[in-house]
Structure 1
Amino acid sequence: MSIARLHEQNLVCTACTPNREYVRVFDVTERTALHRHQTGRACHKCGAPLRDTIVHFGERGTLGQPLNWEAATQAASRADTILCLGSSLKVLKKYPRLWCMTRPPSRRPRLYIVNLQWTPKDDWAALKLHGKCDDVMRLLMDELGLEIPPYSRWQDPIFSLATPLRAGEEGSHSRKALCRSREEAPASDRDTPLSSAPILGGWFGRGCTKRTKRKKVT
């Protein structure tokens, strides 16, 4: 599976090689807009301006990560089915390689769309469901015999992946930050202090891990 992340609370430093990613627990697009992506904050390593990674309607994202277009298009080329959940597809329609449009219609992946509103790909879909994604996915998981695990904000990985703001940056945004509630924590964890340091970030937190290791060495 390949994941392309277009609408996230991510910042990226394009001056670092490889690009350095920052995950935040607040809306990072407060000061940005179409074709204007600098956030007013700086990279903790090189001091270059940080930009958000969102792809607006009318834009074509070019960042290698976290957009991950190359892997996403490779996965699409091998797929026989594409399921689109809760997306207007107004951004993704600009990437014909995702839809294998160079192939004849009979050889393209079957497209299934779940969305309450019209999308520009409705006419291409094998099936379009005008419904809520949660409702459709519950029915699908029941049919497949799969259990949907309950969501726990306490265990949400964004809190361990997020990079804290540096001193002096606290006033750089006015949006409310996400926070964990101790009432949601297992009883054994309620007395454990919350760490603000990023930890291993799984499939997209390698930069956080490297930064942590360097701190330990020094």
Structure 2
Amino acid sequence: MGKRVLITGSNRGIGKKLVEQFAQNGFNIVACARKKDDSFDDYLKDIVRMYNIDVTTSYFDMEDEQCIKRELKSVINKVKTVDVLINNAGYGQNALFPMISSNELKKEMQINYISPIIISQIVSRVMIRNGGGSIINIASVSGIRNEQGRLAYGSSKAALIFATKTMSLELAPNNVRVNSVSPGFIDTDMWNNRSEQIYKKVLSETPLGRQGNTKDVADLVYYLASDAASYITGQNIVVDGGRMI
């Protein structure tokens, strides 16, 4: 029986690439998304055919704690083990400090910070019972680098980075490693919906001279999940082409 990875936000962008990356390496997949989508279901069927692995789907809203708990309980009862958890689902809207609403603050903290903690609590219990595992939180350079209009998003990702360190310390005695990855200028909808002016500015600030792609992130996440990274925990690794230097 192969290892199993649970990936939130697995139906697009980085999450979709993570499904492919882990499937290529023989992992069975628990693919989590907010709602059922026929095109994504077809994609997962292709993944099963290509790589001869098992794929289980789970659908829940990251703003609904009770739904998260209910769905994860159901899927864990079905699959029994989870070796790797990737908290990838995220949400962000730009809003300047004077204009941001308390509802927007709460929404971004819930999706980007509180719900990943809840998911990690549930899944880490399974990992501990089975002798260990690896948790990777997908954070953001916005949690490190100060940017206008990113108060809610940046704060939520900074909180996730801090939580990564605390989780790693508390779970290490149980052989559960916890790390975070902070993508920067990556070819996803979140970046590509920005103006051409911002795109060119960020590109000019990137020493490697190109926009990153989802495989750049997925390669690192897979490494952190693998036995090759068995002595790495509590780290936040930036993937941004050198912009943070």
TM-score, normalised relative to structure 2 = 0.29
Larger Rg: 1
Question: Higher helix share goes to which structure?
Answer: 2
